[in-house]
C-alpha cells in the first residue's frame, strides 16, 4: 500500500490518496439485504412460534370439545394412533388450504424482489414443497402432543359425567 501511495503522490500530488477495497464496496452494497434477511428471519421465527401457540390452543379446545367422543372410541377399541390421526386430520387439512393460498403470494413477492438483482436466481417448485412439508410437520407435532395426551387418558374419567 505504501508503494501505491508513493506512486499516487508522484503523479497526483494535489489529490489525496484515498482507497477502498473492492470486497468492502460489495459488502456495503449488500449490507441492507443482509440486515433485511436477519430481520425477516427473526420475525419469521416469532410468527411461527405464535402460530404454534395458537394451534396448540385451538387443538386443546377442539379436543376438549370432543373428549366424550374420544372416550367412547377408546371404549369401543380405537387405538391411540387412530385417535391421533382422527384429531390431526382436520388441522392438517387447514395447513394444506393455507399453503394453497400462501404459495402463489410468496412466489409473486419473491419473484418481484429477486428481479432487481443483476445475478438473479429462479425460485424452484421444490422450495415450496419443502416449506409445505415443514409446515405440515410442525402442525402435526403441535396437534399430536394434545391428541396423544387425550388418547392415552382414561376413558372412564371422560364418560363418568354422563
Residue 3 lies in a domain: no
Q: What is the pLDDT of residues 43-54, one digit of tens each?
A: 999 998 998 899
Residue 82 lies in a domain: yes
Helices (H), the chain: 2-11, 22-29, 31-65, 67-75, 80-114, 125-151, 155-159
Residue 6 lies in a domain: no
Q: What is the per-residue pLDDT for 162? A: 56
Residue 45 lies in a domain: yes
Provide the pLDDT confidence category of residue 41 given band limits of 50, 70 and 90.
very high
Residue 1 lies in a domain: no
Residue 10 lies in a domain: no
Residue 7 lies in a domain: no
Residue 149 lies in a domain: yes
| Dihedral-angle region of residue 154 (phi above 0 means left; psi in -120 to 50 means alpha; beta otherwise) | beta
Which of 158, 162, 161 has the alpha carbon at shortest distance from 75?
Answer: 158
Q: What SS3 class is residue 11?
A: helix
69, 158 in Cβ contact below 8 A? Answer: no
**Domain carrying residue 83:** 22-159
Q: What is the pLDDT of residues 60-105, one digit of tens each?
A: 898 888 888 888 888 888 888 888 888 888 888 988 999 999 999 9
Could you give the number of structural domains in the chain? 1
Which residues are CB-contacts of 5 (< 8 A; sequence separation ≥ 6)? 17
Amino acid at each position: 500500500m505504501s508503494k501505491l501511495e508513493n506512486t499516487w503522490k508522484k503523479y497526483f500530488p494535489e489529490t489525496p490518496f484515498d482507497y477502498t477495497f473492492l470486497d468492502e464496496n460489495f459488502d456495503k452494497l449488500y449490507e441492507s439485504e443482509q440486515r433485511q434477511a436477519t430481520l425477516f428471519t427473526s420475525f419469521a421465527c416469532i410468527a411461527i412460534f405464535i402460530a404454534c401457540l395458537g394451534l396448540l390452543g385451538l387443538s386443546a379446545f377442539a379436543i376438549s370439545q370432543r373428549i366424550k367422543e374420544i372416550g367412547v372410541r377408546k371404549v369401543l377399541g380405537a387405538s391411540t394412533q387412530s385417535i391421533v390421526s382422527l384429531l390431526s386430520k382436520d388441522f392438517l387439512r387447514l395447513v394444506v388450504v393455507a399453503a394453497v393460498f400462501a404459495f402463489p403470494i410468496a412466489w409473486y413477492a419473491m419473484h418481484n424482489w429477486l428481479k432487481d438483482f443483476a445475478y438473479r436466481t429462479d425460485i424452484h417448485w421444490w422450495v415450496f414443497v419443502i416449506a409445505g412439508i415443514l409446515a405440515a410437520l410442525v402442525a402435526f407435532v403441535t396437534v399430536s402432543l394434545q391428541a396423544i395426551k387425550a388418547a392415552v387418558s382414561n376413558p372412564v374419567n371422560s364418560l363418568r359425567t354422563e
